[in-house]
Amino acid sequence: MKTSAPSDQLTKRIIACLDVDAGRVVKGVQFQQLRDAGDPAELARCHAEAGADEIVLLDITATSGERKTLVETVRRAARQLFIPFTVGGGIRTLQDAAGIFDAGADKVSINSAAVANPALIGEIANRFGSQAVMVAIDGKRGVNPPQEAEVFVSGGRRAAGKRVLDWVREAEDRGAGEILLTSMDRDGTGLGFDCELTAAVAGTVSIPVIASGGAGNAQHFLEVFSAGKADAALAASIFHFGTHAVAELKQALQDAGIPMRWPC
Amino acid sequence: MIAIVDYGAGNISSVKKALEYVGAGAAVTTDPAIILSAEKIVVPGVGHFCRCQALNLHLREPVLNAISRGAPFLGICVGMQWLFEGSTEAPETPGAALLAGQCSRFPAEVKSPHVGWNRIELTGNSRLLRGIENGSFVYYTHSYRAPLVPATVASTCYGGAFSGAIERENVFGVQFHPEKSGKTGLKILENFCAI
């Protein structure tokens, strides 16, 4: 029985980010019926059930030597997660990445390590496929146009001496499968994504661009999916106010005409 | 026991994990003898079609023999594309040619790769997709896609319609990743395990 073909329905993705320090989620989360609010594995599962399209776990552990904790955390989180799962933070070598994949991650996110050693992008892509490599970029432009946005590394503490638009082009050429673009100007402000910068990046590469930094309300997501031309948007704190947050956000965006995986 | 064929095509731990979650015994293997005698076979795969050369070299015969004696086979992503004659991604690497047609790149007017959640349109009776609602969302990540063929049981539109799932007797294939497609994907894997 044939029905008419559906129209192009690739949905815009809503990605929940968990910032993890020494095996614990650091931002307060208020899911109901949560046994352990700081447990990344349980939180990841809750976000997935609430309707998040993807989970990113970022290890922000300041001290080195916590790698075993991270791998164990990833393993526990991956066990009950059946949506795409990305892990970032402290991945410096192909071996680091292999350990994270072995623990159950689908993608790794590399940031400073890719800037320091751009060949790492290709090494991971050759072994695990481009779809498994997300290059994360912290960009800052102040009042300058997007073309002048600069790349920062080491958690935003140091300028890398590269322009964002040059770096995304290189990252794509080297085999990156997605770009995770964080606006340092907007991060933590709740004032909305940097749509101009996001659109400039999306116009430079053909791989998907995930916007991050500045999400405060549903309108901000609507803007970054339309004017910002983002393929996905990532946020942490906005989802940390209960299981209904993702549902309400997706419903609002769908009502506004943005294709969403909703209901799911 | 389900044999998950390991031919060096990326990360396959999530496929094993998902099969185990729905209650199946699964083992990752490169051993032709295990494949030949397996109850069911899964060929996963991400990345470049040229990786199928490793499959062609050592494991093609045992996989095809297992299929001809009736073992249910599930190809995922590149593992499904391998069922076709080949792909323009790697013209020198032949597929298994159980299905007619070539896989090819998305047209230039859409962004490639196609990454994210998209709908499947059910186009035929399917054991693999039993209980799956028309228009369900599944997770895709790929730059090449298979054409619509008589065996197509689900299609997705992105730069035109392509095969999201195929099914012919004991041969099954999905271009999307059931192991990453939430409850819908788990249901599909459960269906496969029950065949």
What is the C-alpha to C-alpha distance for residues B73 and B94, in angstroms, rounded to an integer? 19
A147 occurs within a structural domain: yes
What is the C-alpha to C-alpha distance for residues B188 and B128, in angstroms, rounded to an integer? 6
Which residue of chain A comes nearest to B158, CA vs CA?
A8
CB contact B14 to A (< 8 Å): yes
Which residue of chain B comes nearest to A103, CA vs CA?
B13
Parent domain of A221: 13-255
Residues 167-186 of B with CB under 8 A from A: 179-183, 185-186
CA distance A100 to chain B (A): 10
pLDDT (0 to 100) of residue B117: 98
Q: Which of A10, A11, A81, A128 to mutate to test the interface with B (most CBs of B within 10 A)?
A: A10
pLDDT (0 to 100) of residue A90: 87
Cβ–Cβ gap B117/A11 under 8 Å? yes
- A138 close to A184: Cβ distance less than 8 angstroms: yes
Tell me how many degrees the CA angle A74-B18-A67 measures, rounded to the nearest 5: 15
Over the stretch A207-230, which tens digit does the pLDDT of each residue have?
Answer: 999 999 999 899 999 999 999 999
> Domain with A231 in it: what CATH number?
3.20.20.70
> Domain with B180 in it: what CATH number?
3.40.50.880
Neighbours of A257 (CB within 10 A): 10
Residues in B closer than 8 angstroms to A233, CB to CB, are: none
**Is the pLDDT reported for residue B54 higher than 60?**
yes
What is the C-alpha to C-alpha distance for residues B169 and A197, in angstroms, rounded to an integer? 51
- DSSP state for residue B33 in the 8-state scheme: H
**Backbone torsion region of residue B83, taken as left when φ is above 0, otherwise alpha when ψ lies between -120 and 50, otherwise beta:** alpha
Residues in A closer than 8 angstroms to B144, CB to CB, are: none
- B144 close to B185: Cβ distance less than 8 angstroms: no
Over the stretch A101-128, which tens digit does the pLDDT of each residue have?
Answer: 999 999 999 999 999 999 999 999 988 8
Which residue of chain A comes nearest to B160, CA vs CA?
A8
- Exposed e or buried b for every residue in B64-99, given b needs 16+ CB within 10 A? eebbeeebbbbbbbbbbbbbbebbebbeebbbbebb
- Residue B7 corresponds to which amino acid? Y
A162 occurs within a structural domain: yes
What is the C-alpha to C-alpha distance for residues A109 and A181, in angstroms, rounded to an integer? 11
* Long-range pairs, A253-258, Cβ under 8 A, ≥24: A253/A12, A253/A14, A253/A218, A253/A221, A253/A222, A253/A225, A256/A222, A258/A12, A258/A221, A258/A222, A258/A225, A258/A226
Which residue of chain A comes nearest to B161, CA vs CA?
A5
Is A78 in a helix, a strand, or coil?
helix
**Is the pLDDT reported for residue B99 higher than 60?**
yes
pLDDT (0 to 100) of residue B9: 67
Which residue of chain B comes nearest to A232, CA vs CA?
B116
Over the stretch A159-172, which tens digit does the pLDDT of each residue have?
Answer: 999 999 999 999 99
CA distance A261 to chain B (A): 7
How many Cα atoms are found within 13 Å in the side-chain-facing hemisphere of B46?
29
| ipTM score | 0.94
Under the banding of pLDDT at 50, 70 and 90, the label for residue A4 is very low
The answer to whether residue A102 is catalytic is: no
In 3D, which of B66, B54, B65, B10 has the Cα closest to residue B30? Answer: B54
Q: Which of B6, B14, B126, B134 to mutate to test the interface with A (most CBs of A within 10 A)?
A: B14
Query: For chain B, what is the domain count?
Result: 1
Is A96 in a helix, a strand, or coil?
helix
Q: Which of A9, A126, A210 to mutate to test the interface with B (most CBs of B within 10 A)?
A: A9
How many Cα atoms are found within 13 Å in the side-chain-facing hemisphere of A52?
29
Under the banding of pLDDT at 50, 70 and 90, the label for residue A6 is very low
Tokens of A194: 């940097």
Cβ–Cβ gap B46/A129 under 8 Å? yes
Q: Give percent of chain B with pLDDT exceeding 70.
A: 99
Query: Considering A21, A96, A138, A231, which one is annotated as catalytic?
Result: A138
In 3D, which of B97, B93, B91, B88 has the Cα closest to residue B64? Answer: B97
Catalytic residues of B: 77, 177, 179
Of A82, A129, A206, the CB nearest to B180: A82
Cβ–Cβ gap A106/B180 under 8 Å? yes
Parent domain of B26: 2-194
Q: Which of B11, B21, B111, B118 to mutate to test the interface with A (most CBs of A within 10 A)?
A: B11
Of B9, B14, B185, the CB nearest to A104: B14
Is A86 in a helix, a strand, or coil?
strand
What residues contact B17, with CB distance under 8 A and at least 6 apart? A78, A79, A104, B179
Which residue of chain B comes nearest to A205, CA vs CA?
B111
**Is the pLDDT reported for residue B110 higher than 50?**
yes
pLDDT (0 to 100) of residue B45: 81
Of B10, B134, B181, the CB nearest to A129: B10
Query: For chain A, what is the domain count?
Result: 1
The distance from CA A193 to its chain's CA centroid, rounded to whole angstroms, is 13
Looking at residues A237-260, what average pLDDT do you find? 83
pLDDT (0 to 100) of residue B7: 86
Over the stretch A33-61, which tens digit does the pLDDT of each residue have?
Answer: 555 668 899 989 989 999 999 999 999 87
CB contact B76 to A (< 8 Å): no
- A198 close to A234: Cβ distance less than 8 angstroms: no
Under the banding of pLDDT at 50, 70 and 90, the label for residue A28 is very low
Over the stretch A175-195, which tens digit does the pLDDT of each residue have?
Answer: 999 999 999 999 988 899 999
A262 occurs within a structural domain: no
Cβ–Cβ gap A2/B14 under 8 Å? no
A263 occurs within a structural domain: no
pLDDT (0 to 100) of residue A36: 65
Residues in B closer than 8 angstroms to A83, CB to CB, are: 139, 180-182
